[in-house]
Amino acid sequence: MKTAIIGLGYVGLPLSIQFTKSGVEVLGLDIDQKKADFLNRGESYIKHIGTEAVSQMKESGLFEASTDFSRIKECKAAIICVPTPLNKNREPDISYVLRTGEAIAPHLQPGTLVTLESTTYPGTTDTELREVLENGSGLKAGTDFYLAYSPEREDPGNPDSKVAIIPKVVGGYTPECQEKAIELYSKAINTMIPVGTCRAAEATKLTENIFRSVNIALVNELKMIFDAMDIDIWEVINAAKTKPFGFMPFYPGPGLGGHCIPIDPFYLTWKAREYEHSTRFIELAGEINTSMPDYVISKVADALNAQKKSINGSKILILGLSYKPNVDDDRESPSYILLEKLQSKGAEISYYDPHVPVVPMTREHAKWTGTPSIEWSKKNLASFDAVIISTNHQEVDYDELVATCPVIIDTRNALSGVSTQPGQVTKA
């Protein structure tokens, strides 16, 4: 079952690697010629996905990357893994999904399976995407071709997160569509979780990430309350998680980042209005999480004030640009918000990230494009009035940081276990 995987990013590339490992021939499709060239040379462009894995995929003879979407006619299945961001009004933007549908529809052959993995609101697959595919192909979903939704469950940078062992939720447009999707995914993934409809599968993905968003908002709120009481939230969480039942640890931070948690809950918020329902819990969690950069900046101001300095005119270093440790994924990173807000208050801003040596192009923060990370050296570190640990990368020499920088704002408890001077570190 030759399979096209459309979108060769943080979701599509690991999926391609796993399918070829399982003996499935894969045609990788992307609009970016540079990505296709990298992969056809057996090279990776995502840091936490090693070149060795990509090289093995290419050497297997089962993978080819292309930008020619007409080649979908060669394939028995197509898996869509393209971005689904929010627009500037924080409304769902499924244009990448629909444009992909428009690109493949004229070349869709009878009997082909099309599966969407991009996170979206319930109804996208069986309405908007289905209509685009039917109108462009002249074929009918569930009769002439198969249609399904199966949400991605990627956890970038987590060595225990392996595509083959993560259970796969699958919802088909018809029972026959579901059978076909399960047949495909079973070739590469161990466990199938069938649900009754595409909409149930779409709702499953949203529920997973709303659960995380709400619980992160809870610990972020507790962090601020406990700080006012001079109680360390990290100590509290570490104690609470020793309870063997009824508690799951979540951790505070400077805000939410990544391709899922800051975005996915608002897909349901938007869709719920169509059914005359408000989503107060989800929206409150969003308000708390998006307010975290301002809380961090207030702690920066307090720490500098203790040194008889102000944010205006201070040199401040953001440590970590990616949204989570040990990856180069900077999507929706709260570090960008910190950079912009601190700069607007008159600070001279720089960043250090061993995984992001130069700021890539982003839609929301284009003005930072091309900005280089500083070089790590005692001389450079000593030039800053304050350092904010926004992402706790393992590669960072925290002992050297503490030995060099007099004011450190730690948003990730990264300095736990590191010997520091009284008043040197402010938790935020």
Q: Are 15 and 120 in a shared domain? A: yes
Q: Could you identify the residue written with the tokens 């406990």?
A: 226
Q: What is residue 90's predicted lDDT score, i.e. its pLDDT?
A: 76
Which of 141, 161, 194 delimits the end of a domain?
194
Q: Are 231 and 353 in a shared domain? A: no
Computed over every residue of the chain, the mean pLDDT equals 94
Examine residue 392 and state whether it is found in any structural domain, yes or no. Answer: yes
Which of 243, 263, 287 delimits the end of a domain?
287
Q: What is residue 86's predicted lDDT score, i.e. its pLDDT?
A: 82
Examine residue 231 and state whether it is found in any structural domain, yes or no. Answer: yes
Examine residue 151 and state whether it is found in any structural domain, yes or no. Answer: yes
* Cα–Cα dist 392/412, whole Å: 6
Q: Are 9 and 114 in a shared domain? A: yes
pLDDT surpasses 80 at 159:
no
Cα diameter, the chain: 73
pLDDT surpasses 90 at 265:
no
pLDDT band at 267; cut points 50, 70, 90: confident
Question: pLDDT, tens digit, for every residue of 396-413?
Answer: 999 999 999 999 999 999
Examine residue 199 and state whether it is found in any structural domain, yes or no. Answer: no
Q: Are 144 and 213 in a shared domain? A: no
pLDDT surpasses 90 at 362:
no
- The catalytic residue positions are 260
Question: pLDDT, tens digit, for every residue of 34-78?
Answer: 999 999 999 999 888 888 999 999 999 999 999 999 999 999 999
Q: Are 87 and 146 in a shared domain? A: yes
* Beta strands 168-172 and 146-149, pairing class: antiparallel
pLDDT surpasses 80 at 260:
no
pLDDT surpasses 90 at 79:
yes
End-to-end CA distance of the chain: 51
Q: What is residue 62's predicted lDDT score, i.e. its pLDDT?
A: 97
Q: Are 311 and 228 in a shared domain? A: no
- The CATH number for 229's domain is 1.10.1040
Examine residue 113 and state whether it is found in any structural domain, yes or no. Answer: yes
Examine residue 200 and state whether it is found in any structural domain, yes or no. Answer: no
Distances, alpha carbon 320 to alpha carbons 4, 283, 343, 355, 418, in Å: 35, 27, 17, 8, 18
Q: Are 181 and 215 in a shared domain? A: no
Domain count, the chain: 3
Which of 257, 287, 317 delimits the end of a domain?
287
Examine residue 223 and state whether it is found in any structural domain, yes or no. Answer: yes
Count CA within 13 A, CB hemisphere, residue 84. Answer: 27
Question: pLDDT, tens digit, for every residue of 334-356?
Answer: 999 999 999 999 999 999 999 99
Phi then psi dihedrals of residue 338, to 5 deg: -60, -45
- The CATH number for 138's domain is 3.40.50.720
Q: Are 28 and 162 in a shared domain? A: yes
Q: Are 44 and 170 in a shared domain? A: yes
Contact 8, 65 (CB under 8 A): yes
Q: Are 227 and 337 in a shared domain? A: no
Contact 299, 306 (CB under 8 A): no
Q: Are 189 and 209 in a shared domain? A: no
CA 68 to chain centroid, in Å, comes to 27
List the domain range (segments joined by +) for residue 282: 205-287
Q: Are 188 and 226 in a shared domain? A: no
**Counts for the chain of helices (H) and strands (E), in that order:** 14, 13
